[in-house]
Chains A and B, each alone.
Chain A
Amino acid sequence: MTMTTDVRAAVVARGLSKTYGQGDAAVHALRGIDVSFATGAFTAIMGPSGSGKSTLMHCLAGLDTVSSGHVHIGDADITTLSDKQLTLLRRERIGFVFQAFNLLPTLTAEQNIRLPLEIAGRQADQVLMDRVVETVGLRDRLSHRPSQLSGGQQQRVAVARALISKPQVIFADEPTGNLDSRSGAEVLSFLRRSVRELGQTIVMVTHDPVAASYADRVVFLRDGLLVSEVTQPTPQSVHDMLLKLEA
């Protein structure tokens, strides 16, 4: 595995470790990971259950603290920031799409999309808003509440929300985990389009080889270590790599 320090990297982790518990009960979720994610690229993180892929994403996104090592988002070392600074950084530079429960049930789809901007006290870029809404194809659903939307529609609203603040990076945690394959494909192609057309950087955690095949690059984790990567993945190549890792 090569260790390039890409100047154009959106997210860089160096010597990243995460340990839960102490002494005999200590669980080493991450054991020193060095990885970088290029700006304008769609990267998938894969690995068997318990490989530490979700922990890695949480640490990269500043949702969880690290035990040692550093994470840079752009020029900021997020491991040295206070909770308040971290919150502001998340607000300004990071977008999220979770597996489930992405939307506030009290807000309409449009209000949910605008939420990060409003929390930051920023005005929505109307051109971008129109384009995002157009791309996700939700124009006629904007005034609906989450309970009136299908699972796929909900996830597309979540993606639109992540895009609207033009973050440096979007972290997606199993975004298709709760969706049927057609809705999943819709969401994934939408994610890929936003990388191609809007130049968005996306880091996605998934366990589904088909989902991973939408990415430009797939990195593989096992037992808290980065073990391999595949560029220009196909479902078959990802599947083969997974089988190899589990063997």
Chain B
Amino acid sequence: MLRTTLAGLVAHRLRLLLTSLAITLGVGFIAGTFVLTDTIEQGFRQLFTADADKVAVAVTPKDEDIPHEVLAKLTALPGVSGAQGLVRGTAPLLDKSGRAAGSTATSGISVEAGPLDRTSYVTGTAPGGPGEAVLDENTARTRQFEVGDTVTVLDLAEKRRQFTLVGLIDVGVDQHLAYTGAVGFDPATAREMTGEKGYHEIDLAASAGVSPETLKQTVAAALGQTYTVKTGEELARKLALDSNVELDYLVLVLLLFGCVAMFVAALVIYNTFNILVAQRTREMALLRCIGATRGQVFRSILLESAVVGLVSSVLGLLVGLGLGALGLAALGRFDAPVPTGASVALTPRTIVLGLVVGLLVTVVAAVLPARGATRVAPIAALRSQVEEQTFRAGLARSLIAGLLLAGGLGLTAVAIWVLDGNTGLLVAMGGGAVFFLGVIVIGPVLMSPLSAFAGWVPRKVFGVPGRLAVDNSRRNPKRAATTTVALTIGVTLMTLISVITASTRETVVSSLDDQFPVDFMITAQYGRADGMPLLPAEVPATLRTLPEVGLVAEMRQDDTGEIASLPDRAVFRPEVLSGSLAALTPGTVALSEPQAENLGAKVGDTVSLTTAKAGKVKVKVAALLGQDGLNGTMPYTIAAPDFEKYFGAVGPVRVYVKVKDGTAADVSRRAVEAALTAYPTAQLVSAADVRGEFDEAFDMMFTIFAALLGLAILISLLGIANTLSLSVHERTRESALLRALGLTRPQLRGMLSIEALVLGLVGALVGVVIGVAFGWAALQTIPNETVFIVPVGQVLLYLVLSALAGVLAAVLPARRAANASIVGSLAAS
């Protein structure tokens, strides 16, 4: 029996190739995920281990920085051969146009050559004196600086200081530095530039013969509980652990897509084995005739699937290696903080997991078809004609499908109207999954009417081949349903993502329009001080002198971010729930809705404010305010003269500028930019800038999802190709008859292409409908007001692409059918 199975496999190797490919790709994706993350993890570990070797003991603060005296104290400890304090603060780097680079100030760090230096240099060396600096390579690339250039950095007093760039560094996995960018100085200069008095970390080297553990105890005894003391090895472990948290997310997201791909692959395998069994009815019957038991037939099919699963899983591991390397390169391109230069890692865990998943999915998907094979009666060997499979929807199928569909809809309804937030979204998606299962179960019933619908145009346009093709596509609804459902999964998810991104984008854009009734907004660079960064107090006045500028409005806040001055009404348009903003005169306050609720206050009540200059003051509530899109609404809003009285002439957090009527926006912008040269850290953004950034972010997210889903779609196309090639095989004699009756080769090819087109279209239609519906459901669970947009162009494109993809999948099977000899095919049984 074993030999029969293996001989059968060899005989059908071409037929099984497409099936194997489906598993290979699925396993490849999952293995690729692990290869990628293992490689990153291994890279981290190498990096941290290398670092740990340099440092015997590291001291980090629990809250405040470590003061300078501690460094002196540690240096004097017995067993310490060297100590280095790491400074970290902000030191805004100016770009080539003289403006501060980025919306958050560049980090200023100390870099000191020596045995304790953990910096990794891309080129050049550590700064050798107060006139030299190093820069992280990403910032250098985006701001176009090279070693040898002069860079300008603002010191604590916002004074421009110039340094010669002597090296580029890789900040590695430090998320903070990767985000802000880093400019490095020698320790004295770093302290001077950042104004930091203490250290972010102190690293110690041990004298010969002193173990890190011993040194750690010495240090801990000397410092007490104020600081965290770790050996180099412990530090490396902690850093690795921190970076793993991010990796875990990556693994989770990628595996989710991997599971989708595997599920699609399972459908393809299930279908293929079903067809293989149907085709080999006579072969099975013959085996039964000559004495094979049901069990033997069952086991032979399972064995066949196991061999296919094993072979393709091994191939999948190889594909995974390639995909892992590709993913690493892609992450590198997006400047993600991943260690570079690590060799691709294929761990035993990946191998075992890949093989087990591939094998298990294949064998499980083949169980039902194998059971079907055992039902073949020995007498079937003697029947000449393969019987057409007729399909009737059984009561059980209708019942199960009904339960699943209703359950899915019910869950989703609960998610929309009862739950909200993340729970709601998760439940809605769970409802979607359950509903989809229902669609899979009821699929064969839907297949016939849907094919008729999707085939309506081809039937009219393509004449006899078109009509025959549409009839053929409805011939075996069960098989057609399984084939198309694989494609439906991909199209559903693509549509879902399209709808959600398009709607979110539209929501953001329309709220941007709302939020940006002005042309420009000026803010201070983040990261320089605690709390909200403030612009110099004179900025609004300076801008008001410009002839190119219309309205200039400012927004002031106290440093708790609770009390705000009432800005110009042109930029502050909150919903007034009760009272009125006109009544907001000195001595009164407007409360935000949640704050009013907290205090239990209403219009006319008196509340007290804690102010910087006037202490506690009592004010009367003049209005209750809802949300304002532009500024949000602070808990307390008071009139501008009051604000100055209570807090003095503090700088604004934001300044809004409108272009003067009749002045071109770019002229106005240049004037504002010129006026701001004196304030290099002031950030000027226009509505267009913000929109552009959002667009870019959305496009990128969409591209990544599309690329990840592409694999599932590719596998489903293999499924269509597989089904068609097997149908072609089944209908050999029918094709020959048609050819004898005068159907030309191109017409026969066309017939199969149209059949594939109809299958593709049906799969896509169902996917688009479910995708749009559940996209809507998902959006309803988001508590904020969201616009619902169906990106019609994109959705139509999916339909067209799916139809075309179907045609593409039919190319090879159709060619084989058309090139078959008529006489030979007629003779075939």
Residues of A within 8 A of B (CB): 58, 61, 63-64, 83-84, 87-88, 90-92, 96, 98, 100-102, 104-107, 115-116, 118-121, 147, 161
Q: Is the CB of B384 within 8 A of A90?
A: no
Q: In the complex, how many residues of chain B place their beta carbon closer than 8 angstroms to a beta carbon of chain A?
A: 25
The winner among B740, B745, B747, B826 for most chain A CB atoms within 10 A is B740
Expressed in whole angstroms, the Cα–Cα distance for A115 and B778 within the complex equals 50
* Interface residues of B, dominant DSSP: helix
Expressed in whole angstroms, the Cα–Cα distance for A148 and B785 within the complex equals 60
Expressed in whole angstroms, the Cα–Cα distance for A120 and B472 within the complex equals 20
Q: Nearest Cβ distance between residue B457 and chain A, in whole angstroms?
A: 18
Asked, given contacts A104-B734, A147-B388, whether A91 binds B471 with beta carbons under 8 Å apart, the answer is no
- Chain B, range 161-219, C-beta contacts under 8 Å to A: none
Closest to A145 in B: B388
Q: Is the CB of A87 within 8 A of B471?
A: no
Q: Is the CB of B742 within 8 A of A58?
A: no
CB-defined contacts of A147 to chain B, threshold 8 Å: 388
Q: Is the CB of B741 within 8 A of A116?
A: yes
Is B711 interfacial (CB 8 A cutoff)? no
Q: Is the CB of B742 within 8 A of A91?
A: yes
Q: Nearest Cβ distance between residue B570 and chain A, in whole angstroms?
A: 71
Q: Is the CB of B823 within 8 A of A58?
A: yes
Q: Is the CB of B737 within 8 A of A101?
A: yes
Q: Is the CB of B742 within 8 A of A119?
A: yes
- Chain B, range 710-742, C-beta contacts under 8 Å to A: 733-734, 737-742
CB-defined contacts of A115 to chain B, threshold 8 Å: 464, 741
Q: Is the CB of A63 within 8 A of B388?
A: no
Residues of B within 8 A of A (CB): 384-385, 388, 463-464, 468, 471-472, 475, 733-734, 737-745, 747, 821-823, 826
CB-defined contacts of B823 to chain A, threshold 8 Å: 58, 63-64
A87, A101, A121: the one within 8 Å of B463 (CB): A121
Q: Is the CB of B384 within 8 A of A119?
A: no
Q: Is the CB of B742 within 8 A of A90?
A: yes
Closest to B470 in A: A106
B384, B472, B742: the one within 8 Å of A116 (CB): B742
Closest to B826 in A: A98
Q: Is the CB of A91 within 8 A of B741?
A: yes
Q: Is the CB of B738 within 8 A of A87?
A: no
Q: Is the CB of A87 within 8 A of B744?
A: yes
CB-defined contacts of A121 to chain B, threshold 8 Å: 463
B468, B471, B734, B745: the one within 8 Å of A101 (CB): B734
Q: Nearest Cβ distance between residue B164 and chain A, in whole angstroms?
A: 78
Q: Nearest Cβ distance between residue B771 and chain A, in whole angstroms?
A: 32
Expressed in whole angstroms, the Cα–Cα distance for A18 and B583 within the complex equals 108
Asked, given contacts A104-B737, A106-B471, whether A118 binds B744 with beta carbons under 8 Å apart, the answer is no
B384, B734, B738, B742: the one within 8 Å of A120 (CB): B742
Asked, given contacts A106-B471, A106-B475, whether A119 binds B741 with beta carbons under 8 Å apart, the answer is yes
What are 17 A-B pairs with beta-carbon distances under 8 A? A63-B740, A87-B745, A91-B741, A91-B742, A92-B742, A96-B737, A98-B737, A98-B740, A101-B733, A101-B734, A101-B826, A105-B734, A106-B471, A107-B468, A107-B471, A119-B747, A161-B741
Q: Nearest Cβ distance between residue B464 and chain A, in whole angstroms?
A: 5
Expressed in whole angstroms, the Cα–Cα distance for A242 and B823 within the complex equals 26
Expressed in whole angstroms, the Cα–Cα distance for A96 and B738 within the complex equals 11
CB-defined contacts of B472 to chain A, threshold 8 Å: 106
Q: Is the CB of B737 within 8 A of A87?
A: no
Q: Nearest Cβ distance between residue B813 and chain A, in whole angstroms?
A: 18
CB-defined contacts of A116 to chain B, threshold 8 Å: 741-742
The winner among B742, B821, B826 for most chain A CB atoms within 10 A is B742
CB-defined contacts of B475 to chain A, threshold 8 Å: 105-106
Q: Nearest Cβ distance between residue B278 and chain A, in whole angstroms?
A: 15
Q: Nearest Cβ distance between residue A102 and chain B, in whole angstroms?
A: 7
Q: Nearest Cβ distance between residue A72 and chain B, in whole angstroms?
A: 19
Q: Nearest Cβ distance between residue A123 and chain B, in whole angstroms?
A: 13
Closest to B732 in A: A101
Expressed in whole angstroms, the Cα–Cα distance for A100 and B386 within the complex equals 13
Expressed in whole angstroms, the Cα–Cα distance for A213 and B826 within the complex equals 26
Q: Nearest Cβ distance between residue A49 and chain B, in whole angstroms?
A: 14
Closest to B743 in A: A119
CB-defined contacts of A120 to chain B, threshold 8 Å: 742
Asked, given contacts A92-B742, A121-B463, whether A102 binds B737 with beta carbons under 8 Å apart, the answer is yes
CB-defined contacts of A107 to chain B, threshold 8 Å: 468, 471
Expressed in whole angstroms, the Cα–Cα distance for A107 and B388 within the complex equals 13
Q: Nearest Cβ distance between residue B24 and chain A, in whole angstroms?
A: 35
The winner among B733, B737, B739 for most chain A CB atoms within 10 A is B737
Expressed in whole angstroms, the Cα–Cα distance for A100 and B822 within the complex equals 14
Closest 6 A-B residue pairs measured CB to CB? A91-B742, A106-B471, A87-B744, A64-B823, A118-B464, A90-B742
CB-defined contacts of B464 to chain A, threshold 8 Å: 115, 118-119
Expressed in whole angstroms, the Cα–Cα distance for A119 and B463 within the complex equals 8
CB-defined contacts of A61 to chain B, threshold 8 Å: 740
Expressed in whole angstroms, the Cα–Cα distance for A120 and B747 within the complex equals 11
Asked, given contacts A63-B823, A101-B733, whether A90 binds B741 with beta carbons under 8 Å apart, the answer is yes
Q: Is the CB of B744 within 8 A of A96?
A: no
Q: Nearest Cβ distance between residue A242 and chain B, in whole angstroms?
A: 23
A61-B740, A98-B826 given; 16 more Cβ-contact pairs under 8 Å: A63-B823, A83-B745, A88-B742, A90-B741, A90-B742, A91-B742, A91-B743, A101-B734, A101-B737, A101-B826, A106-B471, A115-B741, A116-B741, A116-B742, A118-B464, A119-B743
CB-defined contacts of B745 to chain A, threshold 8 Å: 83-84, 87
Closest to A107 in B: B471
CB-defined contacts of B822 to chain A, threshold 8 Å: 63-64
Q: Is the CB of A104 within 8 A of B468?
A: yes
Expressed in whole angstroms, the Cα–Cα distance for A61 and B463 within the complex equals 25
CB-defined contacts of A83 to chain B, threshold 8 Å: 745
B468, B733, B734, B741: the one within 8 Å of A96 (CB): B741
Closest to A120 in B: B742
CB-defined contacts of B471 to chain A, threshold 8 Å: 106-107
Q: Is the CB of B741 within 8 A of A88?
A: no
Expressed in whole angstroms, the Cα–Cα distance for A90 and B745 within the complex equals 13
Closest to A84 in B: B744
CB-defined contacts of B384 to chain A, threshold 8 Å: 100
Asked, given contacts A83-B745, A119-B464, whether A90 binds B388 with beta carbons under 8 Å apart, the answer is no
CB-defined contacts of B739 to chain A, threshold 8 Å: 87
Expressed in whole angstroms, the Cα–Cα distance for A121 and B475 within the complex equals 25
CB-defined contacts of B742 to chain A, threshold 8 Å: 87-88, 90-92, 116, 119-120
Closest to A101 in B: B733
Q: Is the CB of B388 within 8 A of A96?
A: no
CB-defined contacts of B747 to chain A, threshold 8 Å: 119
Asked, given contacts A104-B468, A104-B738, whether A87 binds B826 with beta carbons under 8 Å apart, the answer is no
Q: Nearest Cβ distance between residue B560 and chain A, in whole angstroms?
A: 78
CB-defined contacts of A88 to chain B, threshold 8 Å: 742, 744
Expressed in whole angstroms, the Cα–Cα distance for A49 and B741 within the complex equals 26
Q: Nearest Cβ distance between residue B815 and chain A, in whole angstroms?
A: 14
The winner among A84, A116, A121 for most chain B CB atoms within 10 A is A116
The winner among B384, B741, B823 for most chain A CB atoms within 10 A is B741
Closest to B475 in A: A106
Q: Nearest Cβ distance between residue A113 and chain B, in whole angstroms?
A: 11
CB-defined contacts of B744 to chain A, threshold 8 Å: 84, 87-88
Q: Nearest Cβ distance between residue B467 and chain A, in whole angstroms?
A: 8
Q: Nearest Cβ distance between residue A91 and chain B, in whole angstroms?
A: 3
CB-defined contacts of A118 to chain B, threshold 8 Å: 463-464
Q: Nearest Cβ distance between residue A148 and chain B, in whole angstroms?
A: 11
Closest to A114 in B: B464
Closest to B746 in A: A84
CB-defined contacts of B826 to chain A, threshold 8 Å: 63, 98, 101
Q: Nearest Cβ distance between residue A168 and chain B, in whole angstroms?
A: 13
Expressed in whole angstroms, the Cα–Cα distance for A49 and B507 within the complex equals 80
Q: Nearest Cβ distance between residue B282 and chain A, in whole angstroms?
A: 16
Asked, given contacts A63-B822, A64-B823, A98-B826, whether A105 binds B388 with beta carbons under 8 Å apart, the answer is yes
Q: Nearest Cβ distance between residue A116 and chain B, in whole angstroms?
A: 5
Expressed in whole angstroms, the Cα–Cα distance for A90 and B742 within the complex equals 5
